[in-house]
Structure formats: structure tokens, C-alpha cells
Amino acid sequence: MSQLKTEWFSNVKGDILAGIVVALALIPEAIAFSIIAGVDPMVGLYASFCIAVITAFIGGRPGMISAATGAMALLMVPLVRDHGLQYLLAATLLTGVIQFLFGVLKIAKLMKFIPRAVMIGFVNALAILIFLAQVPHFVGISTITYVLVAVTLLIVYGLPRFFKAIPAPLIAIVVLTAVVIFGSIQVGTVGDLGIITQSLPSFLIPNVPLNLETLMIILPFSVSLAIVGLVESLLTASIVDDMTGTGSNKHKEARGQGIANFVTGFFGGMAGCAMIGQSVINVKSGGRGRLSTLVAGVFLMFLILVLGGIVVQIPMPVLAGIMIMVSIGTFDWSSFSYLRKAPRSDALVMLVTVAIVIMTDNLALGVLAGVLLSAILFAAKISRIQVVKQESGDTIIYGIQGQLFFASVEEFVDHFDFSLVNAKVVLDFSEAHIWDDSGVGAVDKVIIKYRAGGNEVVVRGLNPSSEKIINKLAVYHDANAQLKSH
Amino acid sequence: MYSHLLLAADGSKNALRAAHEALKIASAMPGCKIEILFVIDNSKVKEEVLHSQNQEEREYKRHQKLLPIEEVFADQGIPHHFTTIHGDPGPAIVDYAKKNEIDLIILGSRGLNALQEFVLGSVSHKVVKRASCPVMIVK
């Protein structure tokens, strides 16, 4: 009970102010991400309201902001294009179910297997995709379009140096929308892309046939959405943990994201997750508790009702300018020095992650490919095994150094000279570790081959766990053993 | 004489030079409390989290930044203690100094060029402008 009070009411003033700032900063992004996904801006705005309010109550990281995000929107593009909004809502429900299961099964523990190179690749690919999504909205349309993008960038980067109370992107939107309307400037607007319905979200069951075919259409999207949503949410949670010097419950967060997406699907919203940029804005503006997230969601809904009519008139170049700023802020600019300083294999994993995402437009595939590649590179690195040969009198000692497992057995066996006859051979494992049955099989093979040449073989220096697996699986203890096929 | 001196450190070479100056003052004033303040810049947390595998690695990296400064005082046997806070470095140093009745702030100048200073803002400039106690900037 006292923890609940701390999470909600220990920072009331700071939370309310920060929540309002976040709501103001959320609007342009929620609209832009809807446009990326190919749905009406209301879908992203409803989602942002629902997800923020629900995660305020049941999320695992107080003070974190979750809403409609670019990473999720990018995954939805083919689904919306080929099947329409109703299938997106159904996929959002299923995403929620999968994420809830992730939480129950404590999948968040697997996050430690995602190397930092993959995470850096993830944010960089996300930044590049958000930028590329803006290109059609401002390149080669008209001179005035370029001018509006440039003015927007000038406002969002220049203004905060003098005035910080209201987020600069919102000021850019309000001022430049007014300029475009009153100056009768001819540019594309948000209204050209969708219709904003100015009402509270209402409960509805997605209008899709409830059959296996529907499930097969939405399942791949839901799995990708669930993975990407969890990865970005847990990364954001770590950032908020670090900024506030407090801990968070990652499994509760996964369950919370799941429930939030499940409910959002019923209210006509698209799947979302935690937002790095907005969460940083929240903490920097003084937000710490759950109240800040709730205020962000509620105030956003208030703004939608008040501003609903204006949203359709927002010029697209202005929104594109703001999204260029978002992509610049998302990109990890220290990646360039990382590429120079990090080990080659890590740099390669980062680049491959980015390349896979750009080629497939799917962040989930990038993460999976990155993790897989780094696992293979790690196995390759650790599978280098050394065998040092030492002779003293008629005894030949082989000192084995390294990890003996399926990937290193071949190299291990190649190190031995089997032309010996009638000698005493010592295999010294004191600097080695035998991990699996392939490793045991290789030891068997070496020993039995030497015995076949009339040599006497002694094994020494096995550490306890290697000895255990040898005793369990090896056949060389039997003097008449033949090689079995491992 | 000063009773509570605050050395703002960020792991840079200039901060190390500032530490040597702080040492001179401290050794002339026995009984003066030396506090070394490290501000974790919230704008850089995203980058730090991305470039480290876990919390332990981040703490280790941050601690490493302060080791050379620790040595400066430890070598001379000058009592000192470390404090780590989060925030925007300039205002965070000023607020901390006000709350803890600091009577001298010592910090290194970062030596940014004109463009960097326009974009990033100079920490030492902000501290000088807003602090309510004397400030010593070490070049």
C-alpha cells in the first residue's frame, strides 16, 4: 500500500507538469506514426491515450511513457495495405495476448542474450526507417514544401534554446498551420490522408471473420509486434531505471504492455510500446511517478477533443520536419566511433542488424538475425582450442587449452600426432573444459586411436564438471572399447 | 577559509586539472570538507545504456572515470567523499551547491569551440551565471 502511494503520489506537482509536456509532445508523433502505418490519425491518437492510461496503472516502470510508436507502426504497413484496419485491430489484440504470455513466462530474462551491438543496430535502423518514411512527404513536391520543412527544423532546434515550457514541435505545428491557413499556401495536409473523428474511443470488436485464415494472416505480424514492442519497452525501462536511479519490474512491464495492447485493440487503437524519446522528455521535465503517465494520456485525450478540427489542417511538410527531428534524436550518433573502436565482430553484427531491417522493413527480423549472427560469432571465437605438446623422456604430454564442445572437436582431434607407437601419452585437461557429448566423443576417439597404436594413455587434470560428463558418457574406461559413433 | 568545497568532476582532463587545484586549496585548509560531485547527464543516459550490457557495466564505467581524481586526493591523504546525482550538469551542480551550503565550487572548463558551445551550452558558463557562491574555473 505504501509502495502504491509512493509510485502515485510522491511527486504530484512534477508529475502533472511533466505529463502535460509529454501529452503536447506526443500529438505530432502519434499522428505521424498513424500516417506511417497507413491508418487514420485517430487510430494512433486513440492508441496513445489507451496505452498511456493503462500502463500508468499496470506497467512495471513508473514514469515511463508508452503510446503509439514508430517501431510498431513500421511493422504494420503491409498488413494495413493488404488487409485493412480491421485486421490491424485484430493483430493488436493478438499482440497483447502474446506479450502477456511473454510476461507470464518471464521472457524478459532473455534480454541479456541480446548483445548491445544488436540494440544499437535496432535504434539506428528505426531512425533510418522513420526518416525514409518521411521522404515521400517532402521530396520533389514543391519549393514551398522544402521551405516549410526547413522552417520547422529551425523552430524545433532553435526555439528550445530560448523557450522550453511548451515542446517546440507543438509550437511549430500551431504556428505553421496558422501560417499555411491564413496565407492560403498550397501544401498537402493531414486531412488529405485521413479523416479525424472527434469523439471518445468506443468499444468495438474488430470486424474480421473468426477463422484460421484470419489467424494465419495476423499471426506473423502479431509475433513481430510483440517482440519489437517488448524489446523497445525493456530498453526504455532500462533507460528510465538509470535516469532515476531506481529499479523496475520487467515481467510486470511485459504483462502490462500486453494488457494495454489487448484493450487498445478493442477501442480502435493500433499496437504500441514504450517510447524512448517521450520517456526521456518525461523524466527530464520532472516526471517520476505513475501519475505523470496517466496525466499524459488524459491530457492527450483532452487535446484531441479540443484540437480535433485543427489536426486535419496540419501541413504534411511540418509533420515531416518534426519526424526528421525524431529520427535524428533516435539515431545513436556515437555509433560512428563505436564502429571504429568496437571489435570487428560486434561492428559487423551492428551493421548486419541495420541492413536486415532496411531490406525487410521489419525490426523483429533484424533483432533475430543480429542475435543469431552474434551467437555464431561467439561460438566461433570460443571454439578455438589449443594443444601444447611436451616431451619428457618416453612420455609425451599434451596440454589442452580451451573449450571442448561440438564446434571445437574437429580442431582438437587434428592437433594430435597418431603416428606414435608404444609410448606413454598424457592428456592434461587442467586448462580445458569439456561441455557436451561431442567433446567426450572426441576424447574417446583420441584415446582409443592411441591405444590402437599400443600406447598407454593417462588422462589428468579434469575439472569436476568435465569429469562428471566423462564418467557418464565416455567409453575409454573400458580397455577393449571400440569407437562408437558420437 | 572555506568549510565545504565542491569539485564538479566529469572524467575529463580538465576536471583532473581542477582536482589538482582543489587539492592545493584543501591542503592549505585542514578541516575543509572536500566533496566530489559527479553528475550523470540525463541526455547521455540513452547512449550509455545502449553501449553497455547491464547496470553493473555502467556503474563500473562511471566509477572508472573518477579513479584518477580519487588518486589525486588519496595520494596526499586528503579526506574527501564522492556524490553522484542525475540531471542536466549545469543546473544540477548549482542546485546541489545551494542545498548543501557549499562555499566554493571548482570545475574544469570543457574547452568547447564556438559551435559546440552554441549547441551544447557551456556547463561552466551556466554555473558561473547561476551559482550563489564563488566559482573557480580551471582551464
What is the residue-wise DSSP string for B55-96? HHHHHHHHHHHHHHHHHHHHHHT---EEEEEEE-HHHHHHHH
Contacts of B88 in chain A (CB under 8 A): 284
CA contacts within 13 A on the Cβ side of A485: 0
pLDDT at B120: 60
In a domain, A208, yes or no: yes
Looking at residues A345-368, what average pLDDT do you find? Answer: 95
In a domain, A423, yes or no: yes
pLDDT confidence tier of residue A212, bands split at 50, 70 and 90? very high
Together in a domain, A52 and A139 = yes
Interchain proximity A238–B49, CB inside 8 Å = yes
d(CA A92, CA A204): 13
d(CA B99, CA A322): 38
Domain carrying residue A394? 386-473
Domain B4-138 sits in CATH 3.40.50.620: yes
pLDDT at A307 over 70: yes
**CA-to-CA dists, residue A457 to A420, A439, A446, A449, A483, angstroms:** 12, 17, 10, 10, 16
d(CA A221, CA A68): 16
Together in a domain, A327 and A460 = no
Query: Among A206, A201, A212, A225, which Cα is nearest to A95's?
Result: A225
pLDDT at B98: 92
Interchain proximity A119–B52, CB inside 8 Å = no
pLDDT at B32 over 80: yes
> Which residue spans within A49-91 are E strands per DSSP?
66-67
d(CA A46, CA A29): 13
Per DSSP, A183 falls in state T
pLDDT at A238: 94
pLDDT confidence tier of residue A199, bands split at 50, 70 and 90? low
Together in a domain, A59 and A199 = yes
Together in a domain, A310 and A401 = no
Looking at residues A350-356, what average pLDDT do you find? Answer: 97
What size, in residues, is chain A? Answer: 486
SS3 B114: helix
Together in a domain, A273 and A407 = no
Which of A332, A365, A397 corresponds to the end of one domain? A332
The CATH number of the domain holding residue A467 is 3.30.750.24
Contacts of A234 in chain B (CB under 8 A): none
Tell me what the pLDDT averaged over chain A comes to: 91
In a domain, A428, yes or no: yes
Q: Which residues of B touch A (CB under 8 A)?
A: 40, 42-43, 45-55, 58, 86, 88
Contacts of B86 in chain A (CB under 8 A): 243-245
Q: How far is B44 from chain A (nearest CA, A)?
A: 9
Together in a domain, A449 and A306 = no
Higher pLDDT, A452 or A123: A123
pLDDT at B78: 84
* Nearest CB partner across the interface for B50, out of A112, A120, A283: A120
Burial bucket for residue A367 (CB in 10 Å: 0-12, 13-18, 19+): buried
Tell me what the pLDDT averaged over chain B comes to: 86
Per DSSP, A315 falls in state B
In a domain, A350, yes or no: no
Together in a domain, A459 and A311 = no
pLDDT at B93: 92
Interchain proximity B42–A243, CB inside 8 Å = yes
The domains of chain B are located at: 4-138
Which candidate in A109, A153, A239, A328 is best for mutational testing of the B interface (most B CBs within 10 A)?
A: A239
Query: Among A223, A193, A217, which Cα is nearest to A40's?
Result: A193
Interchain proximity A238–B51, CB inside 8 Å = no
* Nearest CB partner across the interface for A123, out of B50, B58, B88: B50
Interchain proximity A235–B49, CB inside 8 Å = yes
Instruction: Write down the residue that cell numbers 485517430 correspond to.
Output: A42
Q: How far is B48 from chain A (nearest CA, A)?
A: 9
Contacts of A242 in chain B (CB under 8 A): 40, 45, 48-49, 55, 58
pLDDT at A485: 47
pLDDT at A277 over 80: yes
Looking at residues A425-444, what average pLDDT do you find? Answer: 93
Together in a domain, A181 and A315 = yes
SS3 B101: coil
% of chain A residues with pLDDT over 90: 70
% of chain A residues with pLDDT over 70: 97
Distance of CA A311 to the CA centre of its chain: 30
CA contacts within 13 A on the Cβ side of A374: 23
Contacts of B41 in chain A (CB under 8 A): none
pLDDT digits (tens, 9 = 90+) for A19-59: 999 999 999 999 999 999 999 888 999 999 999 999 999 99
d(CA B16, CA A325): 36
pLDDT at A419 over 50: yes
SS3 B7: strand
Q: Which residues of A touch B (CB under 8 A)?
A: 112, 115-116, 119-120, 123, 235, 238-239, 241-245, 276, 280, 283-284, 332, 334, 338
pLDDT at A486: 44
Contact A237, A275 (CB under 8 A): no
In a domain, A377, yes or no: no
Q: Give φ, ψ of B134 to 5 degrees.
A: -60, 145
d(CA A65, CA A299): 13
Together in a domain, A319 and A408 = no
**DSSP letters spanning A405-443:** STTTHHHHHHT--TT--S-EEEEEEEEEEE-SHHHHHHH
**CA-to-CA dists, residue A475 to A305, A482, A485, angstroms:** 77, 8, 11
What would you report as the CA-atom Rg of chain A, rounded to the nearest whole angstrom? 29
pLDDT confidence tier of residue A194, bands split at 50, 70 and 90? low
Interchain proximity A123–B58, CB inside 8 Å = no
pLDDT confidence tier of residue B112, bands split at 50, 70 and 90? low
Interchain proximity A238–B42, CB inside 8 Å = no
d(CA B25, CA B19): 10
* Domain tally, chain A: 2
Contacts of B43 in chain A (CB under 8 A): 280, 284
Together in a domain, A289 and A422 = no
pLDDT at B11: 80
pLDDT digits (tens, 9 = 90+) for A437-472: 999 999 999 999 999 888 899 999 999 999 999 988
pLDDT at A127: 96
* Nearest CB partner across the interface for A243, out of B45, B50, B54: B45
Contacts of B55 in chain A (CB under 8 A): 238, 241-242
Higher pLDDT, A394 or B58: B58
d(CA A253, CA A102): 10
